[in-house]
Chains A and B, each alone.
Chain A
Amino acid sequence: EDQVTQSPEALRLQEGESSSLNCSYTVSGLRGLFWYRQDPGKGPEFLFTLYSAGEEKEKERLKATLTKKESFLHITAPKPEDSATYLCAVQGGYSSASKIIFGSGTRLSIRP
């Protein structure tokens, strides 16, 4: 069964303090691994899709990497506006092409 586990559940950082969020996954035939950002009272907002091990993508202070078992979301010199819940999700090739499987998320809080 496809599964996504994220750690830590919550992370508090000082502004400028870099760190990484982890996403471990089990999926039959990975078609894509997604990172989303979710602010309170809003729906998830798409950040990246990674397709194969070794791939990296960057957006501002965020960089996502992918291995065969894990993905990391690296946050470099974060600012308070980076505070949000970050969700990892996978889409498997052998399950329905319709659904993506979400992890429970990491709540990131950046203190000024």
Chain B
Amino acid sequence: EAGVTQFPSHSVIEKGQTVTLRCDPISGHDNLYWYRRVMGKEIKFLLHFVKESKQDESGMPNNRFLAERTGGTYSTLKVQPAELEDSGVYFCASSQGTGLIYGYTFGSGTRLTVV
């Protein structure tokens, strides 16, 4: 079974530019999540999709962040315009059901550096 795939693995952009991160979940996993870790902090929730619908986006920091999941397959997370404090590692995860029993399967993350 292929895991959760994220790309790019690294991205360095200038403040004010736009970046789009992509996540391909495990096939058949309706639940897709975005989390991020900023330097020195815990991994924190951003949002949750069930198929193509946003179930919970309470962790999105502000309206510069836009997540989509067209057709309920892959998801993108766009940051526009990027600010210095957006630097960190962005993780995508998917799960069968709520993730309570089998946990979430995480991708390796995208390391975003805003300079």
Residues of A bordering B, CB below 8 Å: 4, 31-32, 34, 36, 41-47, 49, 51, 87, 91, 96-105
Contact A104 B105 (CB under 8 A): no
Residues of B bordering A, CB below 8 Å: 4, 33, 35, 41-45, 47-48, 55-56, 58-59, 91, 93, 98-109
> Closest chain B residue to A41 by CB distance?
B108
Report if A97-B98 is in contact (Cβ < 8 Å); known contacts: A36-B103, A44-B106. Answer: yes
Contacts of B108 in A (CB 8 A): 41-43
**Residue with the highest number of chain A CB atoms closer than 10 Å, among B41, B43, B93, B104:** B43
Report if A34-B41 is in contact (Cβ < 8 Å); known contacts: A41-B108, A43-B108. Answer: no
Contact A99 B56 (CB under 8 A): yes
- Choose one: B42, B44, B103; the contact of A46 (CB below 8 Å): B103
15 contacts between A and B (CB under 8 A): A43-B93, A44-B104, A49-B100, A87-B43, A91-B99, A96-B55, A98-B33, A98-B47, A99-B45, A99-B58, A100-B99, A100-B104, A102-B35, A102-B43, A102-B44
Report if A43-B91 is in contact (Cβ < 8 Å); known contacts: A98-B56, A104-B41. Answer: yes
Contact B103 A43 (CB under 8 A): no
Contacts of A103 in B (CB 8 A): 42
Contact A91 B100 (CB under 8 A): yes
Instruction: Compute how far the CA of A101 lies from the CA of B41 in the bound complex, rounded to whole angstroms.
Output: 12
Contact B45 A98 (CB under 8 A): yes
Contacts of B41 in A (CB 8 A): 104
Instruction: Compute how far the CA of A31 lies from the CA of B84 in the bound complex, rounded to whole angstroms.
Output: 36
Instruction: Compute how far the CA of A101 lies from the CA of B17 in the bound complex, rounded to whole angstroms.
Output: 30
Contact A45 B106 (CB under 8 A): yes
